[in-house]
């Protein structure tokens, strides 16, 4: 287990921003995730993608939903959390490195996309992240955001107004279903309940045209045309 110290925390509505300093300098590729655990918490570790990494410092955007994230949100600055990983495959392993991509996100699905943009800016054609509220403008540049309750549009609506071909998306399954109806070269980063992060517990299966895959071990990025939603 890696020990992490909370350096910064912001909470607004149902979202939490965390900056954490790890006691080890591990490299996390955009798209990979960490399993987080509260100390002395009986709950199993939960998977979270990071938004950025600078040496030992990592950043998260987390939606407060359920007992685990509620307890996490109650931690104070300088308190510890525990992490293991990274797990999964980085986006860069799955995509065509000779193409540029539009990054399309919804809610906390912003995290791995922002991490990818930071690490591989030359492979990003554009980026749009949809949020219902405006809290994230404190940690995400506003030009990347769509405030759905204000603009009355979603990232999918924005995509329909623009002529882009290559997409990497992370967000709710409704976004993926809408994207599947469009003639695009799309990849989707899937989120499922996980227990172990390494494929042993079989808690994160996804149906594909090539059979059942595990999001943690085989993903989290998949070609949308191969996923059965």
To which residue do tokens 């791995």 refer?
Answer: 112
Cis? peptide before 220, omega within 30° of 0: yes
Pairwise CA distance, residues 127 & 138, whole Å: 17
Nearest CA-CA partner of 106 in 15, 19, 218: 15
170 among annotated binding-site residues = no
- The alpha carbons of the chain give a radius of gyration, in whole angstroms, of 17
Nearest CA-CA partner of 107 in 174, 205, 196: 174
Is residue 209 within 8 A of residue 226, CB to CB? The reply is: yes
Pairwise CA distance, residues 128 & 140, whole Å: 11
- Structure tokens belonging to residue 134: 């405006």
201 among annotated binding-site residues = yes
Is residue 37 within 8 A of residue 59, CB to CB? The reply is: no
Binding residues for [2Fe-2S] cluster: 196, 201, 204, 216
Binding residues: 196, 201, 204, 216
């Amino acid at each position: 287990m890696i020990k992490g110290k909370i350096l910064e925390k912001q909470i607004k509505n149902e979202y939490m921003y965390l900056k954490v300093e790890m006691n080890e300098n591990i490299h996390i590729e955009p798209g990979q995730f960490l399993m987080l655990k509260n100390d002395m918490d009986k709950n199993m570790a939960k998977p979270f993608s990071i938004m950025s990494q600078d040496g030992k410092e990592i950043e998260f955007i987390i939606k407060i939903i359920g007992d685990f994230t509620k307890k996490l949100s109650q931690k104070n600055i300088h308190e510890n959390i525990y992490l293991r990983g990274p797990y999964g495959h980085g986006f860069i392993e799955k995509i065509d490195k000779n193409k540029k991509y539009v990054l399309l996100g919804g809610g906390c699905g912003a995290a791995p996309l922002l991490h990818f943009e930071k690490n591989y800016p030359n492979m990003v054609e554009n980026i749009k992240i949809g949020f219902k509220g405006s809290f994230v403008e404190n940690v995400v540049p506003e030009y990347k955001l769509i405030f759905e309750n204000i603009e009355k549009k979603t990232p999918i609506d924005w995509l329909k107004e623009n002529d882009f071909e290559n997409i990497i998306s992370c967000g709710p399954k409704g976004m993926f279903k809408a994207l599947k109806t469009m003639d695009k070269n799309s990849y989707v980063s899937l989120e499922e309940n996980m227990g172990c992060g390494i494929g042993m517990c079989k808690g994160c299966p996804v149906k594909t045209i090539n059979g059942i895959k595990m999001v943690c071990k085989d993903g989290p990025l998949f070609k949308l045309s191969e996923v059965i939603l």
